[in-house]
Structure 1
């Protein structure tokens, strides 16, 4: 069996919502910090065009901020004003011209923003979260003193944030995105509402599993009002990142409920992130996450949406999972960063041999270096 034939299961088309993807290899959302003023740039147009031309079945955009937030990545793009929408149009246009599709991943950081970050100051609002509980950790490199996370302000009316997500979906549609993915992973806002360690509310948005799941489900419903079937959600049930994570049984019960209910909404797909010990953070010498087999635990609950797996998945593993019908597709991250022609390489049996430049992945490089480690990875010879 040649390398190319081994990946045949990944090369089959896939119906996803209202779209038919040319293959089952999606490009994961990847924060790359190349939007110095929160507005997409020409170098970003080139970056997405390269990967669409490289054969991505579906591109999930980097996390797009739905409002001004004090992120640890000061060059993250947004989608709350007309100029941002117009520049995103250039990106969706080149992806479509290359025969690809692109979803906008919509993102709110919740309590892991910082009030002293420039964008948060411009927003003129507090750092909002479900409860006034600070996450441990954090390191805002662009703020003097490199402070950690702060105690957030409990959002009095979560419907305010639901409406922000809906408006972001409306803007994404105007910008030409084919769908939207709700960022429900990595301990950001959706996960903060779901997790009992970060959500101590006593109203209808907290307490029971049903109440803690309410916010994320209402956001999905609001997105569906805009995009119909072309709505997805990404989840990391094993937790860890940004100081979230519950005991195992509570984790299984909470995410089991959320995934079951989300699957009833006729989503295009649900992406689950595997647990990876090497990416789990530590506090006081202990891993923060909740190790368990995410795919085995929740995959059987997905009856209607397509199922994607992410986080350390290799193309070889992905081909086996698709062939055995355990998943419908895979999302890859770092391989897409380092190989703009990833799918073409797999189709032609070419090695994935570009070494990643980790120093240039994110953290707001100087403008003169925006393309370094971003758009300068070589393609293979065919």
Structure 2
């Protein structure tokens, strides 16, 4: 029997703007449908330093951050049938919860939101998969996003993109890399993305059919690339999610589709649509209006929130972890690739250093810490 400590180490945020402090933390008990996971690797995401520095999303203190991890099952609830003690797993942690956030040594998770880590990838690599994949899933397949159907884990899902194009802005970001792969698994015939030229070969390996230089490409270049093969184009996933990328997304779609083009209906949408994780509503509304006045189609902006434990997204998140994980899943079959990772040595004591490095800029890679170092 695995011995679980009553306390473990956690990197704790005591107040907004303060550095995280390593403290002793009570190990939570699990419910019958949950598992306790010993966290061997936790990934760093931009939202983590934003919470620390800006005080967003957190309602009370002390708090624990982190929402991307991998590890092994330490305990399993009585109703859990698909996981057992010792299994290697990966998952998206649950932000704003003290027992489900991942900058600590033990985490509790609903068993249906945990994937089995295949033997061909490391825990560090596996820890990069959860959050960014779920953010891609909500943008691409959920009704709050582009609502591409069926999803690639469903029957016929590999044909959902047949005859269609999609543009994914920010291809070298974690979300962008997973969105490209999911678009490939959905059968999109043209997948256009932008990044620095250093990442082009890797993004083509993941599934991009056209890679543009983000520093020089204009909206019309993306539009031309998305439409040159005659595929229906009315979808963009903006993984950059800043005001300029929102405006560029609108410009790309409006360059491609003039009023009456029927591009949206051919792509299975009512209106040409941008899915993104943040909205600059006033600037985007003005850009759409300007384009329409010049004869372009309307463009809809859908803001999505990639929380896999949310009721509206949980069935899709659960299905993804089942499809991607295990020895017969996408990761094992190399149909889906984890981010390239860089370990920041020092365990939980190095979390602040890792957050600072992420804030200062990381390109094409995911930073990882190991809580037991």
Judge same fold: TM > 0.5, yes or no: no
Question: Per residue, is there more helix in 1 or in 2?
Answer: 1
Larger radius of gyration: 2
Q: Which has the higher strand share?
A: 2
Output the TM-score relative to the length of structure 1.
0.31
Give the alignment's TM-score, normalised by structure 2.
Answer: 0.32
